[in-house]
């Protein structure tokens, strides 16, 4: 998290692609194609080829926590310590989500396999899963995200999972295709987070559709809110690629371009409001990811245009990937990497590691709980209050779930 700022915005052609990448070589293509600005494709294609080659040869470049970000707005910086409670075997990866079942089981959304329990006692095959939210014992909502190229229909849907079996409740790609709430040229869907209210209703945030949906158990879909693009700085991506010596297609970008919000996370607060965090698409700025507060009565609103959807935090975060409330009403905000999601594509020496922030909504302040976590994608609180998190979550053979101390 960087110092809170007021400059934010974003609209991109291929929204939320990062979130569904099953291999790191997809990332650079995502970043470039997500921009509304004109890019020198010859230059970027050459650079992409080099990065893809690097990614295939050496995944260790993505494991380095590298440089820790020491921004003035952060306090109580405490790098994460290792724990004896680590689960590192049995994951196919990527790991996109964690949640806690009513019986205390820690559930993992392993997009390469399905929904698995941390202790390995109960696995539910559902490749492409990005999140799940328990309804009761043995029953939950789950979502499957994009597993192919942006704009493709790859089974994006809301599922009802019961007694180890699943069935489709709502076809989310078909909904985007018919209604396209954000009005983007490219019809795309990548449901990334789901929140259960009960057995009747679920909230789903679509990272590629840039919208929040309310869906009942009959498959009826209501648009709750649409998130706007914003103008953001290109300085971070230029720095990461080594401008002015980097690829001309990036170094030649204007100081600001429009970026999509790419909403990734839902947390329902003690006040009943819906809190939505943004990843922010290309050019992957630092300190410009917003958190939105949405009225539970909101319906078909454009965020920022009225009181039903306003910013709880106007920027101040980088590449938000998950959020969760603790039992004291504090909002925990997860940042994928302090140097943005684009840093994962550059690799060794660039990665700063992800951060978990504890935020007081009334005071509007945040402190760091842990930092320097490589490729952090998700957290959950156990029934005993223990905080669990992922690390190296996108790397096959290296993904872990561990207890944050």
By C-alpha distance, which of 294, 245, 304, 243 is closest to 272? Answer: 294
Residues paired with 366 in a beta bridge: 359
**What span, in angstroms and rounded, lies between the C-alpha atoms of 192 and 215?**
14
CA dihedral 238, 19, 382, 324 (to 10 degrees): 60
**What span, in angstroms and rounded, lies between the C-alpha atoms of 130 and 20?**
8
Half-sphere exposure of residue 125: CA atoms within 13 angstroms, side-chain side: 0
Q: Per-residue pLDDT averaged across 32-48, rounded?
A: 34
> Six-digit token pair at 310?
């306003």
Neighbours of 166 (CB within 10 A): 21
CB proximity list for 36: less than 8 A, separation 6 or greater: 11, 12, 13, 229, 257, 258
Average pLDDT along the chain: 82
What is the residue whose two structure tokens read 């006040």? 271
DSSP 62: G
Half-sphere exposure of residue 328: CA atoms within 13 angstroms, side-chain side: 8
Split at pLDDT 50, 70, 90, the class of 1 is: low
Q: Per-residue pLDDT averaged across 292-321, rounded?
A: 98
By C-alpha distance, which of 253, 285, 255, 257 is closest to 43? Answer: 253
59 three-class SS: helix
What pLDDT score was predicted for residue 194?
98
**What span, in angstroms and rounded, lies between the C-alpha atoms of 396 and 112?**
9
What pLDDT score was predicted for residue 376?
97
Cα separation values, 185 from 151, 176, 196, 209, 223, Å: 10, 12, 31, 11, 19
pLDDT greater at residue 90 or residue 176:
176
Q: Are the CB atoms for 254 and 289 separated by under 8 Å?
A: no
**What span, in angstroms and rounded, lies between the C-alpha atoms of 184 and 221?**
19
> Six-digit token pair at 301?
């609103």
State pLDDT tens for residues 332-371: 999 999 999 999 878 767 899 999 999 999 999 999 999 9
Split at pLDDT 50, 70, 90, the class of 164 is: confident
State pLDDT tens for residues 207-256: 999 999 999 999 999 999 999 999 999 999 999 999 999 999 999 999 99
**What span, in angstroms and rounded, lies between the C-alpha atoms of 250 and 254?**
9
Q: What angle do CA 289, 294, 295 make, to 5 degrees?
A: 170
Split at pLDDT 50, 70, 90, the class of 17 is: very low
Domains of the chain in start order, with CATH, are 17-404 (2.120.10.30)
> Six-digit token pair at 165?
């079996």
The yes-or-no verdict on residue 60 having pLDDT over 70 is: no
346 — phi, psi (to 5°)? -80, -45
What is the residue whose two structure tokens read 């204007």? 254
State pLDDT tens for residues 72-99: 233 333 333 334 478 777 899 999 999 9
pTM above 0.85, yes or no: no
Q: Per-residue pLDDT averaged across 17-35, rounded?
A: 35
State pLDDT tens for residues 364-403: 999 999 999 999 999 999 999 999 999 999 999 899 999 9
**What span, in angstroms and rounded, lies between the C-alpha atoms of 176 and 196?**
21
What pLDDT score was predicted for residue 89?
77
Q: What is the 3-state secondary structure (H, E, C) of 279-312?
A: CCCCCCCCCCEEEEEECCCCCCEECCCECCEEEE
**What span, in angstroms and rounded, lies between the C-alpha atoms of 211 and 225?**
6
What pLDDT score was predicted for residue 345?
79
Q: Per-residue pLDDT averaged across 282-309, rounded?
A: 97
**What span, in angstroms and rounded, lies between the C-alpha atoms of 8 and 259?**
8
Q: Per-residue pLDDT averaged across 119-135, rounded?
A: 91
pLDDT greater at residue 296 or residue 346:
296
Half-sphere exposure of residue 68: CA atoms within 13 angstroms, side-chain side: 13
394 three-class SS: coil
What is the residue whose two structure tokens read 């396209």? 180
């Amino acid at each position: 998290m960087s110092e809170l700022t007021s400059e934010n915005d974003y609209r991109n052609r291929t929204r939320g692609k990062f979130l569904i990448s099953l291999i790191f070589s997809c990332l650079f293509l995502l970043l470039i194609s997500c921009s509304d600005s004109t890019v020198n494709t010859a230059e970027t294609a050459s650079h992409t080829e080099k990065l893809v080659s690097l990614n295939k040869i050496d995944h260790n470049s993505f494991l380095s926590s590298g440089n820790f970000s020491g921004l003035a707005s952060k306090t109580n910086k405490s790098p994460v310590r290792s724990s004896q409670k680590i689960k590192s075997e049995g994951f196919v990866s990527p790991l996109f989500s964690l949640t806690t079942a009513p019986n205390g089981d820690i559930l993992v959304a392993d997009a390469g396999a399905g929904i698995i329990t941390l202790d390995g006692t109960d696995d539910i095959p559902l490749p492409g899963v990005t999140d799940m939210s328990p309804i009761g014992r043995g029953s939950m909502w789950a979502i499957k995200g994009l597993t192919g190229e942006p704009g493709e229909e790859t089974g994006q849907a809301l599922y009802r999972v019961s007694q180890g079996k699943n069935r489709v409740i709502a076809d989310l790609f078909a909904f985007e295709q018919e209604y396209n709430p954000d009005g983007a040229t490219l019809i795309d869907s990548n449901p990334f987070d789901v929140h259960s209210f009960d057995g009747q209703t679920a909230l789903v945030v679509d990272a590629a559709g840039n919208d929040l949906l309310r869906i009942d158990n009959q498959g009826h879909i209501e648009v709750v809110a649409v998130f706007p693009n914003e103008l953001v700085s290109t300085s971070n991506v230029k720095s990461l690629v080594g401008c002015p010596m980097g690829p001309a297609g990036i170094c030649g970008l204007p100081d600001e371009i429009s970026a999509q919000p790419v909403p990734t996370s839902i947390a329902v607060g003690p006040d009943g409001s819906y809190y939505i965090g943004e990843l922010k698409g290309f050019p992957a700025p630092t300190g410009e990811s917003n958190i939105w507060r949405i009225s539970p009565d909101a319906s078909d609103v454009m965020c920022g245009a009225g009181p039903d959807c306003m910013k709880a935090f106007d920027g101040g975060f980088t590449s938000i990937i998950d959020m969760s409330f603790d039992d004291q009403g504090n909002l925990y905000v997860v940042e994928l990497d302090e140097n943005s999601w684009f840093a994962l594509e550059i690799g060794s020496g660039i990665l700063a590691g992800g951060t978990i922030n504890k935020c007081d909504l009334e005071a509007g302040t945040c402190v760091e709980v842990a930092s320097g976590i490589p490729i952090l994608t998700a957290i959950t609180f156990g029934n005993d209050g223990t905080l669990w998190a992922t690390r190296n979550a996108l790397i096959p053979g290296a993904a872990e779930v561990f207890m944050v101390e």
